Amino acid sequence: MPTYEFDKPHHLSRLHDELIADGITPESVRGQPDGDKFWIAVPAVLEPQVSAVVEAHDGPAAMEAVAWEAVRVDRNGRLSGSDWTALADSQLSGVEEAAWFAYRQSLRDVPQDHDDPTDITWPEPPS
């Protein structure tokens, strides 16, 4: 039975959904999470069909989408860590508040301001 191995950044449920959408039933696919990898095993008769779905799932556009998703998760964490600066009782001076506002806006703009999700220059938080 052919087995496909993936690094963890791939989402098993997303690939599983893609296989189902391509007519491969859940009974013909099983994932086995193990550390940083997972495997999908399929009957040999489905190998050409599954290979096409897997290649599309692992193509450059799909990998770039996964990388951008990771950038957004990182960005959202940075925004969340600075939420306190947007509260009315933050006790920041007007200048400090403006600096934090600009920093947080720069974080929001990261996806639009960069072309490569693997080469992000993160803004520095105000001191």
- The reply to whether 96 falls in a domain is yes
Find the mean pLDDT for residues 30-49: 63
Residues 20 and 37 in one domain: yes
Q: Is residue 127 part of a domain?
A: no
Number of domains in the chain: 2
With respect to residue 87, please indicate whether it lies within any of the assigned structural domains: yes
- Tell whether 9 and 29 lie within a shared domain: yes
Span 43-82, pLDDT tens digits: 777 777 777 777 776 667 777 877 888 899 999 999 999 9
Of 33, 58, 83, which residue sits at a domain end? 58
Given a contact cutoff of 8 angstroms between Cβ atoms, the answer to whether 126 and 103 are in contact is yes
Which domain, by its residues, includes 13?
3-58
What predicted TM-score, i.e. pTM, was given to this entire model?
0.58
Cα 93 from chain centroid?
36
> Over the range 84-105, which residues count as b (16 or more CB within 10 Å of their CB) and which as e?
ebeeeeeebeeeeeebbeebbe
The CATH number of the domain where 53 resides is what?
3.30.1370
Q: Is there a domain that residue 120 lies in?
A: no
Tell me the per-residue pLDDT of 109-120, one tens digit each, with 9 for 90 and over.
Answer: 999 999 999 999
